[in-house]
Amino acid sequence: MAVGASAVAVSHGDAAVKHSWVSVPEGWVDVGAPPADYTIDLKIGLKQGGFEDLISVLHEISDPFHTKYGQHLSKREVEEFAAPHESTHAAVNGWLLANGVDISSVHYSQAKDWLALSVPVSTVEYMLSASYRTYQHGSTGEQVVRTLSYSLPRELHAHIDLVHPTTMFDRMKAMRATYMLDAALPATGTIEGSTVKGPAGQDIPLSCNTTVTPACLQALYRTAGYTPQAADKGNKIGVAGWSKYGRGLLPCPYYVNFADLQSFFTQFRPDAVGTNVTVVSVDGGLNDQSLPGVEADLDVQYTEGLTYPTPNYYYSTPGTAPTINDSVTPPQRDEPYLDWLSYILTLPDDELPQAFTTSYGGDEQTFPYEWAVRVCGMFAQLSARGSSVMFSSGDGGVGAGTCQTNDGTNRTIFQPVFPATCPYITGVGATYQIAPEKGVYFSQGGFSRYFERPVWQAAAVPPFLAKLGSTYAGLYYPAGRAVPDVSAQGYGFQVVVAGEVESVGGTSASSPTFASIVALLNDYRIANGRPSLGWLNPLLYTIGVSGFTDILLGNNPGCGTPGFNATEGWDAITGLGTPDFVKLKELFGSI
């Protein structure tokens, strides 16, 4: 629709709650009202007119048995599906006008499905029947201005998916279990000789059993000897990173350090010395070279180390910053997935990476349901354009901490991590050792309570549930989307940080590793005139199963339980298993 279409008056009365919390989310404390002149940068997600049709098309182009497989959509086509109906714009414009908002001050996304405006907090409170307060997190010192409840006129519930910032308390965290060398998990058993045999009979240095380098991963997952051919044909890999602010309002160092990258290449990938990652600032994201970050260094050193000379892009997006700004403090940034996705979806088709990895997330229950569903839909839009999106599955086993519900009942339940639970994302769990490879204790897995089990998991997941029987009944939702989908090594990664080698562990290591394998598969396909793989999950759970090494050992304790066990077939600690590049290249190379 034309944004300037005539507005329809919407009554402020007859409001109904859109979302609310029964109490202040765990870890946050009310520290008072925001200043009277505080301005909120409001984002409103409008109902997308053709979203269901987009999902239908996405399933067709991602089904390896469908005639439309691989026919990814263009940016323009995705935006046409996302565009709201004219009636939605008319209703929302009427509501804004009724609340004294100058329509000319509203900014729209390219698909016109998001609108943004700066509004005084008093106006927002009236519009949303809300009461905004300043909340501070006890362990980090982060401050956010939020409300515990907001409402919309009933008529607008059919036109607005969510309003932000409202009830979203951002606690996005990097998925990193530890990065201390002396915390490395010990290898079990005694192994003779200087090499061990991998699952395909390949020789792998014995040191890889506890100390992981690019060469170890190349040998284990059989990418050794493959030379990327499509670096000049558009193949790319992207890493999403966020800078956060902690206690004392100091930035947590999640920045890529170029000197560390060159030192890493010198030690572990000499032929790549002189190559660099391209850092892209999203909405003012920084990359301070005086603040090298373990997470950022890990991500780019291993994506570069495994995919060289494939172009690598690191997207630096601000995380949550202090609420009250001053001359030395950056402006507040709200939940960054929205900022990052909004930016990525504007990229021209020839600039969009075909594989992404992200090592961040949080307990699914801490995200408002409507918010999680809308953001998951944005990942679907990205997938429809031919990008494969990988996320770490989490580092809490079946759940860290008390594992209590936040709905006021304080029941104990297992805690899967979002966004990994989004069906349009490939969740990556973690393994360790190579003789044999095992699921590592922190590898988070389980079942979503927000998203139902997709059809492509219909064959893989029920056998696992059958083996589980009544064990943990009531602690998880067996009909939910199951995670992780796959796994990769996640412990003992040698990373250069501030010039020194540290040993890093977590699904933070697994996701960039698996994403790098996907980037190499895309390289092979693109070099041979085929499209990128795009949304992976329907492919992985069908013809892809035989391209994975099934992991049969390990469990992921949490919530006062031993957690789930690795077992034959899909399991909720290692998914389908770990990749065999040679087999996957044969399976995926010609479809």
Alpha carbons 133 and 146: distance in angstroms, whole number: 6
Q: Who wins on pLDDT, 176 or 344?
A: 344
Instruction: Output the pTM of the full model.
Output: 0.92
Taken in order of first residue, the domains within the chain and their CATH numbers are 15-48+84-168 (no CATH), 174-588 (3.40.50.200)
- Matching residue, tokens 């805690």: 415
Q: Transcribe 373-401 into DSSP letters.
A: HHHHHHHHHHHHTT-EEEEE--SSTT--T
Question: How far is residue 551 from each of residues 294, 468, 544, measured CA to CA in Å?
Answer: 28, 17, 15
Residues 487, 489, 491: CA angle, nearest 5 degrees: 130
**Residues paired with residue 251 on neighbouring β-strands, in sequence order:** 245
pLDDT tens digits for range 335-360: 568 889 999 999 999 999 999 999 88
Q: Assess whether pLDDT exceeds 50 at residue 141.
A: yes
Going by C-beta distance under 8 Å and a sequence separation of 6 or more, which residues neighbour residue 471?
A: none
pLDDT tens digits for range 281-323: 988 887 888 777 898 999 999 999 999 999 999 999 876 433 3
Alpha carbons 5 and 90: distance in angstroms, whole number: 6
pLDDT tens digits for range 514-529: 999 999 999 999 999 9
102 marked as part of a ligand binding site: no
Residue 492 φ/ψ region, left for φ over 0, alpha for ψ in the -120 to 50 degree band, beta for the rest: left
State which of 74-83, 96-105, 250-259 shows the largest mean pLDDT. Answer: 74-83
pLDDT of residue 335: 56
Going by C-beta distance under 8 Å and a sequence separation of 6 or more, which residues neighbour residue 324?
A: 34, 35, 134, 143
CB atoms near residue 83 (< 10 Å): 20
Alpha carbons 406 and 383: distance in angstroms, whole number: 31
Helix (H) or strand (E) holding 246: none
State which of 66-75, 138-147, 197-206 shows the largest mean pLDDT. Answer: 66-75
E strands, 191-296, are 195-197, 203-205, 237-245, 251-252, 278-281
Query: Taking the chain, what is the end-to-end CA distance rounded to the nearest angstrom?
Result: 38
pLDDT average, residue stretch 171-199: 62
40 marked as part of a ligand binding site: no
Instruction: Give the ranges where 388-506 is alpha helix by DSSP (H).
Output: 461-468
Ranges 90-104, 132-146, 184-198, 210-224: which has the least confidence:
184-198
pLDDT of residue 406: 87
Q: What is the CA radius of gyration of the chain?
A: 23
CB atoms near residue 526 (< 10 Å): 19
User: What confidence tier does 402 reach under pLDDT thresholds 50, 70, 90?
Assistant: confident
pLDDT average, residue stretch 364-382: 94
Residues 160, 166, 170: CA angle, nearest 5 degrees: 120
Alpha carbons 378 and 561: distance in angstroms, whole number: 35
Active site residues: 295, 299, 508
pLDDT tens digits for range 423-460: 999 999 999 999 899 999 999 999 999 999 999 999 99
What is residue 354's DSSP assignment? Answer: S
Query: Average pLDDT of the chain?
Result: 90
394 marked as part of a ligand binding site: no
pLDDT average, residue stretch 67-87: 98
Ranges 82-96, 161-175, 258-272: which has the least confidence:
161-175
326 marked as part of a ligand binding site: no
- Residue of 224, 348, 251, 239 whose CA lies nearest to 299: 239
User: What confidence tier does 334 reach under pLDDT thresholds 50, 70, 90?
Assistant: very low
Q: Enter the tokens of residue 294.
A: 């373990």
CB contact at 8 A, 515 and 355:
yes
Alpha carbons 235 and 229: distance in angstroms, whole number: 9
pLDDT average, residue stretch 549-563: 97
pLDDT of residue 1: 38
